[in-house]
């Protein structure tokens, strides 16, 4: 008796199920649209995050100090270090930087009678008035200076398998002298290592020794083929190019530590490279003052890319305010490399001094031979028999 009333209800429910349209297709369509919408939103979030530096990232450094950077390197997780360096790494070698108020190059250009200091590196001015540039080049020419502690610290990073590449603004070739070459180095503003004729129809190439001989003989370097000016392969203002525009595509996305040394980060496109690393990549600045900081307005809007050392949101940028040499020595000590670094500098400087002494001896012997040849009496020609 108790089961009798349930039979009709079941039949009724079955009939209702048959008559009621199933909402499966509608549900699939709505869920598909929702998924597509989510995918589009995720794409937009990632786009804005990668291009504007929005969003959060995991904190890699235990603390935002030089010691925190050292512990990260020692952890074994750091195998793709990029270095970005400027004129400040070479000042202890005796090469002035550009923008220091009293000692920088631009503050001491009066003797060249320039319309403005930067004109000495303007391509149009150079083509009309090459004399000031080559007078300055004689003072600063590669081969007169030895690499600094900072240069050899980068060499040590290479030897220990940590350095992916060095991006340099410098034209002094000291990175090469220290042992960085080929794939180790991107010379963003060019180099004195090679030179070319400025004529588009010629473009004859000349090496470092050829240019040195011309500059130190106080001749304006001119092409042996077409007599046009020959310019070192450094990038002047007003010229297209510069290797920073053609940086290695995978370098910055793969970078796991960016070390920036001795640069004001004021010259583009080089300065903009600091924003090309991932949001989780720590960035260490070793410099006499903080540089590359984000615009305060952009910071309020949450836009990233620039350096952030001091805000409450700072999570990866470290500023070590010192000379580049002192900063590298301090980091080397924290890594347990200080003695090795000091020994490397000592050995390499001794090797360079030895090479210079050999060159001087060769030069003296050539000079002496020339003097003897000039002083030797010319033997009279034998008289012909009549």
**317 to 4, 126, 340: CA distances (angstroms):** 78, 39, 27
Q: What percent of the chain has pLDDT over 70?
A: 69
Same fold, 56-92+150-189+252-348 and 96-144+190-234: no
> Could you state, in order of their start, the residue ranges of all structural domains in the chain?
56-92+150-189+252-348, 96-144+190-234
Nearest to 69 by CA among 328, 339, 287, 343: 328
Using one digit for the tens of pLDDT, what is the confidence trace for 264-316? 998 888 888 999 999 999 999 999 999 998 765 544 444 446 899 999 999 99
Catalytic positions are: 189
Using one digit for the tens of pLDDT, what is the confidence trace for 78-107? 999 999 999 999 999 988 766 666 666 666
The architecture (CATH level 2) of 56-92+150-189+252-348 comes to: 3-Layer(aba) Sandwich (3.40)
302, two tokens: 């949450």
- pLDDT-derived band of residue 114, with 50, 70 and 90 as boundaries? confident
Quote the Cα angle for 98-104-107, to 5°. 105
Q: Please tell me the distance from the alpha carbon of residue 89 to that of residue 92, in angstroms, as a whole number.
A: 7
Q: Is the pTM higher than 0.85? A: no
192 close to 121: Cβ distance less than 8 angstroms: no
Q: Please tell me the distance from the alpha carbon of residue 308 to that of residue 274, in angstroms, as a whole number.
A: 12
Residues annotated in a binding site for Zn(2+): 197, 202, 223, 226
Using one digit for the tens of pLDDT, what is the confidence trace for 229-268? 999 998 888 876 554 455 667 899 999 999 999 999 988 8
- pLDDT-derived band of residue 52, with 50, 70 and 90 as boundaries? very low
> HEC states along 139-169?
HHCCCCCCCCHHHHHHHHHHHCCCEEEEEEC
Nearest to 167 by CA among 180, 148, 153: 180
The architecture (CATH level 2) of 96-144+190-234 comes to: 2-Layer Sandwich (3.30)
Handedness of CA 347, 353, 354, 355 (dihedral sign): positive
**341 to 31, 180, 241, 262: CA distances (angstroms):** 62, 15, 35, 19
Residues annotated in a binding site for NAD(+): 87-91, 97-99, 169-172, 263-264, 287-289, 324
Residues annotated in a binding site: 87-91, 97-99, 169-172, 197, 202, 223, 226, 263-264, 287-289, 324
Q: 206: part of which helix (H) or strand (E)? A: strand 205-207
């Amino acid at each position: 008796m108790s089961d009798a009333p349930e039979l009709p209800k079941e039949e009724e429910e079955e009939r209702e199920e048959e008559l009621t349209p199933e909402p499966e297709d509608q549900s699939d369509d709505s869920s598909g649209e929702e998924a597509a919408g989510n995918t589009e939103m995720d794409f937009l979030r990632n786009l804005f995050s990668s291009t504007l530096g929005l969003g959060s990232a995991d904190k890699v450094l235990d603390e935002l100090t030089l010691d925190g950077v050292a512990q990260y390197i020692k952890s074994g997780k750091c195998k793709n270090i990029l270095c970005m360096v400027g004129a400040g790494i070479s000042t202890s070698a005796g090469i002035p930087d550009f923008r220091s108020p009293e000692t920088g190059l631009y503050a001491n250009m009066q003797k060249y009678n320039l319309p403005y200091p930067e004109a000495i590196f303007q391509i149009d001015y150079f083509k009309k008035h090459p004399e000031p540039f080559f007078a300055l080049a004689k003072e600063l020419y590669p081969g007169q200076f030895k690499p600094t502690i900072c240069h050899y610290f980068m060499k040590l990073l290479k030897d220990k398998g940590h350095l992916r590449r060095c991006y340099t603004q410098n034209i002094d070739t000291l990175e090469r002298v220290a042992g960085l070459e080929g794939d180790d180095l991107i010379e963003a503003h060019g180099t004195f290592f090679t030179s070319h004729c400025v004529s588009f129809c010629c473009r004859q190439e000349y090496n470092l020794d050829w240019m040195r001989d011309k500059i130190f003989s106080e001749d304006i370097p001119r092409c042996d083929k077409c007599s046009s000016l020959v310019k070192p392969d450094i990038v002047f203002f007003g010229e297209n190019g510069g290797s920073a525009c053609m940086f290695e595509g995978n370098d910055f996305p793969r970078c796991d530590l960016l070390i920036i040394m001795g640069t004001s980060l004021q010259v583009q496109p080089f300065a903009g490279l600091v924003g090309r690393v991932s949001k989780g990549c720590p960035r260490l600045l070793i410099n006499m003052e903080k540089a590359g900081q984000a615009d305060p307005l952009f910071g309020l809007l949450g836009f990233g890319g620039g350096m952030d050392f001091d805000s409450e949101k700072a999570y990866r940028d470290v500023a070590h305010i010192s000379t580049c040499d002192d900063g590298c020595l301090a980091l080397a000590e924290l890594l347990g490399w200080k003695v090795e670094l000091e020994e490397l500098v000592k050995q390499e400087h001794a090797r360079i001094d030895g090479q210079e002494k050999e060159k001087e001896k060769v030069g003296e012997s050539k000079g002496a031979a020339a003097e003897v040849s000039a002083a030797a009496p010319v033997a009279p020609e034998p008289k012909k028999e009549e």
